[in-house]
Amino acid sequence: MRLGNAFALHSSGAPVGDVVDEHGDAATMRYLYGIGNGKSNTLSFCVAYQDSSCILAFMATQEPTSAPTPFLRLLRQSLAGSGLSLREVAKQIGASTAFMSRLLGEQRGIPADETILKLEEVLNIPDRKLLYAAGRLDSAASRVLMKQDAPILMRTLAQLNDKELAEVHKVAQQYTGLRRKK
């Protein structure tokens, strides 16, 4: 039997809701108890199904995971420097104020790449910095990393200090500029 979703906490034994199996047969789900350790909780349900007296179903719940600290720090700094309200930013990216509030309040994980890119645009965050702070790569970086010699190049670049890496970046920009002229 495949159980559907039933998310409600009632006193012990109270009906939570009906679920339906793959044949369309209904069952009544009753909440038995919930235990947890602060981060993760396990909920137990008793399901009365056809002639069966009880089938136990366990469902784990987990507290929300917040976005990474560097992402949140950059987002907060950019929001503060933008002069825009949370409501204005939410509206411009097509999200709710509650979404933005949960994100900044560390009650929501990393948004979709599309949302991050909209935030970068609205808050004038350059060079995909917010995307990278989220631990994500843009499509150009992903294409480079998929190339055969990319791991060797990354290990070589990892040994450079910031000044040397900036020099390599300048040479790469000059090289791509020459290719565009051809």
* Digit-coded pLDDT (tens) for 50-101: 555 554 555 555 666 889 999 999 999 999 999 999 999 999 999 999 999 9
The pLDDT of 13-19, averaged and rounded, is: 44
- Please report the pLDDT score of residue 76 as a whole number: 96
The pLDDT of 103-116, averaged and rounded, is: 92
One domain for residues 74 and 109: yes
Measure CA 122 to chain center.
Answer: 20
| Contacts within 8 Å (CB) and 24+ apart, 75-79 | 75/103, 75/104, 75/119, 75/123, 75/130, 76/104, 78/119, 78/123, 78/124, 78/125, 78/130, 79/104, 79/123
pLDDT band at 4 (very low <50, low <70, confident <90, very high): very low
One domain for residues 89 and 113: yes
Local structure of residue 108 (DSSP, 8 states): S
Q: Flag whether 38 is in a domain.
A: yes
Instruction: Name the nearest CA neighbour of 116 among 136, 98, 97.
Output: 136
- Domain stops at, among 62, 79, 98: 62
Measure CA 98 to chain center.
Answer: 16
- Please report the pLDDT score of residue 176 as a whole number: 82
Verdict on whether the full-model pTM lies above 0.85: no
84 vs 124: CA distance, rounded Å = 12
> How many residues comprise the chain?
182
- At 82, which CATH number? 1.10.260.40
- Please report the pLDDT score of residue 103 as a whole number: 94
Q: Flag whether 102 is in a domain.
A: yes
Alpha helices by DSSP H, listed for 39-181, are 69-82, 86-93, 97-104, 113-122, 129-133, 139-145, 150-158, 162-181
One domain for residues 80 and 49: no
* In contact, 97 and 140? CB cutoff 8 Å: no
- Domain stops at, among 24, 41, 62: 62
One domain for residues 48 and 77: no
The pLDDT of 9-17, averaged and rounded, is: 41
One domain for residues 132 and 157: no
Q: Flag whether 4 is in a domain.
A: no
Domain residue limits at 106: 69-136
Instruction: Name the nearest CA neighbour of 27 among 36, 37, 17.
Output: 17
Q: Flag whether 109 is in a domain.
A: yes
- Please report the pLDDT score of residue 121 as a whole number: 96
Q: Flag whether 2 is in a domain.
A: no
Instruction: Provide the number of structural domains found in the chain.
Output: 3
- Domain stops at, among 26, 45, 62: 62
